[in-house]
Structure 1
Amino acid sequence: MLVALVGIGKIALDQHVPAIAGSPDWELAATVSRHGSVEGVEAWDDFTAMLEARPDIRVVSLCLPPVPRFAYAAEAIRAGRHVMLEKPPGATLSECHALQDMAREMRVSLFATWHSREADKVDAARGWLSDKTLRRLTVTWKEDVRRWHPGQAWIWEPGGLGVFDPGINALSIVTKILPKPIHLSGAVLKFPENRQTPIAADLAFAHPDGAEVTADFDWRQEGDQIWTIEAETEAGTLVLSDGGARMTVDGAEAGTEEDAPLSGEYPRLYAAMARLVRDGASDVDLAPMRHVADAFTLGRREIVAPFEE
């Protein structure tokens, strides 16, 4: 299948382009970007013109920041194209629901991707937890924003999510591996005095069985980066580390290579998109985004030291 990639920035070049190149399902037929391109691929700077000139390209993958993404997705859907959305799927929940309605009306596939759900041991963790009684779950997601988002000013503007840009990856894993749904019960959001989005957040959740569920997100981490989810149950303690790439149970390595027959988060996303298009289906799970929206609604705001690049 032919696919057009829109927004040729770091995530597109690091993840999407190699995943498409390595897939038997896809051919990168065009790019749309004001600044970037991919060698050997037809490049456009006008999305409308590309859609009109290339009716043979039936799938569009959007790697734009959240705020401008809705307009591109809506235009693609109205043009009868299947759409793949980089995370988070939109700037607001209402936008995402509107896109779902459009896709349903136009009978095209819409895929809200959560790449961290495709980490190697996430499915194994979900299977292990499926019949366990949860007592406590702790998420620790701490990284250095200067290392991972250099010069990306949009993340500090309204709609950019701030620390929830990586934090939503953790929430996407949590909402996949827990057998019972949780909801936010409290939050503290820490805003640099010179920025519009938070640099850190402490979250607490209500669990239907009373388990203690918390998350600690921080973009000020120096040294080792921490992406860990620890789940204590009556049958032992499971730890997902390295963003879901490693899994231990009571300190012993768990999960097998057979848990992840296709290597890489983004190759798995593109394989899933191919299945959705072939089946005439959509996948728009907004659970991770609901938790973020609830945090902004319920969270207590604290002002912290200014952030400078």
Structure 2
Amino acid sequence: MELYQLTTFIAVAQERNLTRAAERVFTSVPAVSAQVKALEDELGVKLFDRTSRGMALTEAGDSLLLEARRTVDAAQRMRAAAAQLRGELSGQVRMGTVSDPVALRLGEVMVRLAERHPQVMLQLQQNLSLRTQAALRRGDLDCAYLMSAQEQVEGMELRRLTVIDLAVTLTRRQAAAGLPESLEALARLPWVSNSPECGLRLQQEALFREAGQPFPHGAMADTEGAVRGMVASGLGAGLMRLDQAQAAERAGELVIWPGWRAHTWLCWMAPVKQLPDPALAAVRDTVLEVWA
């Protein structure tokens, strides 16, 4: 049994798709299939069923997935410990991201990390905030950027990096018909809603509660770029980051409604571990330094 087989097993379990798993472990689809088959033969159990929805874990596969993760994590800790004995830091850190790389200052983080700890590799995975937080709890990620208004999250180390101002945006047609004079009138307009797994959904729900209106169940967007595009195309009002709203307004795509403002926080989060990972600590310290 080889570590790369366990890594491939974990990737297929997470992605439920051979092509995406192959991209994740930087190999080909036939190689992924062969590695899974070899692991099944060695263990004497079937790990996956092929279904119309992709690769589904069998009962045995689900039971062994946790052991595979523990084994891979232990190997990474051993490599990191050996690197420390050599006076180096090394290891791979899986970091979740949201939004765009510029807003996260990822470039600065990666440059500083490479200068100081060239053997620490960042593997980036982009997703919505609540999906990212769930991935942290499952152990699929080591740390993440995400948007959250919470000050504390049980079982997590949470560091607030910067406040994110939010704004309500109107379609050009809505604005031309006259800006709403109240929050209640605003909430009665057609809206583009944020995904339930988006970090801005809670603020949008709070807006409708304050207006005393039911939450809209029409068009829904799962990314900030999709919200901007749908508002710009005239589908309805939307909630987005103020900086993105201002850029879209300057481009003539939409109009910012001046009667409402709110904010959330860009945060860095990682599970609290009994045995701290030096490579992860190096990533955390670099992120905090960039945002200091």
Q: Same fold (TM over 0.5)?
A: no
Which structure has the highest helix share of the two? 2
TM, length-normalised to structure 2: 0.30
TM, length-normalised to structure 1: 0.29
